[in-house]
């Protein structure tokens, strides 16, 4: 750099620090380019922000002298606004946008009254990487429509949303949030990575609408974001579960059935909804709930059989001994009719504990498993009605080699 040029810079800036940095940063420029830059700075009366743009390393690395002058001129036109200056020197913007696009962003920010969240959209690295200049400006305009709400802003810059949606889809999500009065849980649904990975945006919006109709019920939010439901149910089925829970007035046990992983894997949506409805008809009884979620029952009984057992339990006033027969692992190996016979006998014995023990221990489970035979006779003294049955009862006792019994002892005879 010529000495006269250095002297001129020092004289015109009237500030040693400004002069030093301009001289150091511009020393390798051509004289004609230095003159152009200094002429533009003179028009700015060597404003501090204009001088920084002229000497900024990121600007120098990413802009030609002519482009630098454009940025300085734009800063002057915008009355040396701080945010316009920040955009001019921002490294991400300089590397991702042309100078003309950079100026468009500055103008777009002015239309947003230099609002801070709008500025953040301009300089956000993920937005710059995933959105074009036009899409970026659209996001700023939509954020303005959303009154610069923080949740709307976070949706605009969210990397997962930027990576997994188009601009139109992203805007639709922001407007859905606005239509829900910027509800915090709606925002959480929108940015939920599991929802984003397992639902397209149209399905996403349908879930938000269902949530809104539930008046933002917390359990519905939990159902919408549940990873097991997202993986094991379609969106239509997902909404069916939401409706099923609503018909149950958002009862906690109904909710637990909706999210139960084993129920989701073991049943269809119709079966799951039927179980929820059956539980409702059982007044959400604890034992009835346990029948619904019992692993063995889900494996060994059909949904219709499960519901039949729940109804029987209700008819027996939710007797715990009846429940124990229903869930007994060994008894589940047999046909449901055999199980129902035992419950009937237990009921006739007025739910006597001794009768229950005989039903469980004296049923010859292992023999029945091996032989796969049905019971042709099951009696105790208490429910024998004819002498023939009584003789058969005694004969069976002898075959079983029992020396001592009481009147409640149950005897079983299998088909040959």
User: What pLDDT digit, counting tens, does each position of 274-286 carry?
Assistant: 999 999 999 999 9
Q: Which residues pair with 264 in a beta bridge?
A: none
What are the sequence ranges of the domains in the chain?
A: 1-111
Work out the end-to-end distance of the chain between its first and last CA atoms, rounded to an integer number of angstroms: 114
Distance of CA 14 to the CA centre of its chain: 61
> pTM for the complete prediction?
0.80
Q: What is the mean pLDDT of residues 342-366?
A: 74
Q: At what angle do helices 320-327 and 303-315 cross, to 10 degrees?
A: 160
Query: Is 399 exposed, middle or buried, given 0-12, 13-18 or 19+ CB atoms closer than 10 A?
Result: exposed
Phi and psi torsions of 372, nearest 5°: 55, 40
Cα–Cα distance between 152 and 191 in angstroms, integer? 11
The string of pLDDT tens digits covering residues 395-409 is: 777 776 666 666 656
334 pLDDT band, cuts 50/70/90, is confident
Tokens of residue 356, six digits = 């229950």
Alpha helices in 260-316 (DSSP H): 261-266, 269-281, 286-293, 295-300, 303-315
Distance of CA 375 to the CA centre of its chain: 50
Query: Is pLDDT at 30 greater than 80 in this prediction?
Result: yes
């Amino acid at each position: 750099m010529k000495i006269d040029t250095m002297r001129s810079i020092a004289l015109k800036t009237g500030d040693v620090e400004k002069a030093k940095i301009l001289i150091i940063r511009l020393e390798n420029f051509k004289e004609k380019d230095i003159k152009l830059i200094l002429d533009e700075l003179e028009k700015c009366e060597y404003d501090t922000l204009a001088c920084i743009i002229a000497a900024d390393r990121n600007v120098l690395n990413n802009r030609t002298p002519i482009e630098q002058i454009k940025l300085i001129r734009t800063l002057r036109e915008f009355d040396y606004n701080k945010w316009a200056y920040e955009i001019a020197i921002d490294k991400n913007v300089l590397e991702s946008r042309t100078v003309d696009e950079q100026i468009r962003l500055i103008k777009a920010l002015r239309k947003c009254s230099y609002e801070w969240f709008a500025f953040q959209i301009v300089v956000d690295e993920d937005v710059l990487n995933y959105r074009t200049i036009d899409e970026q400006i659209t996001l700023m305009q939509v954020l303005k429509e959303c009154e610069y709400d923080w949740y709307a802003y976070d949706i605009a810059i969210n990397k997962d949303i930027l990576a997994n949606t188009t601009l139109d889809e992203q805007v639709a999500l922001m407007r859905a949030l606005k239509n829900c009065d910027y509800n915090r849980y709606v925002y959480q649904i929108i940015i939920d990575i599991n929802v984003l990975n397992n639902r397209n945006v149209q399905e996403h919006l349908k879930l938000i609408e269902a949530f809104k109709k539930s008046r933002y019920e917390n359990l519905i939010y939990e159902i919408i974001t549940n990873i097991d439901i997202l993986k094991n149910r379609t969106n239509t089925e997902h909404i069916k579960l939401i409706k099923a829970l609503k018909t149950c007035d958002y009862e906690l046990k109904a909710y637990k059935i909706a999210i139960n992983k084993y129920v989701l894997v073991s049943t269809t949506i119709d079966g799951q909804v039927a179980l929820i409805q059956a539980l409702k008809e059982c007044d959400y009884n604890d034992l009835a709930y346990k029948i619904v979620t019992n692993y063995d029952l889900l494996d060994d009984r059909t949904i219709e059989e499960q519901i039949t057992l729940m109804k029987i339990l209700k008819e027996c006033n939710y007797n715990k001994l009846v429940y124990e027969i229903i869930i007994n692992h060994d008894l589940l190996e047999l046909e449901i009719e055999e199980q129902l016979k035992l419950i009937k006998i237990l009921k006739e014995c007025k739910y006597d504990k001794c009768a229950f023990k005989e039903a469980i221990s004296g049923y010859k489970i292992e023999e029945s498993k091996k032989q796969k035979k049905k019971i042709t006779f099951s009696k105790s003294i208490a429910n024998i009605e004819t002498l023939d049955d009584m003789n058969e009862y005694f004969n069976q006792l002898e075959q079983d080699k029992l020396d001592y019994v009481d009147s409640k002892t149950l005897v079983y005879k299998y088909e040959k």
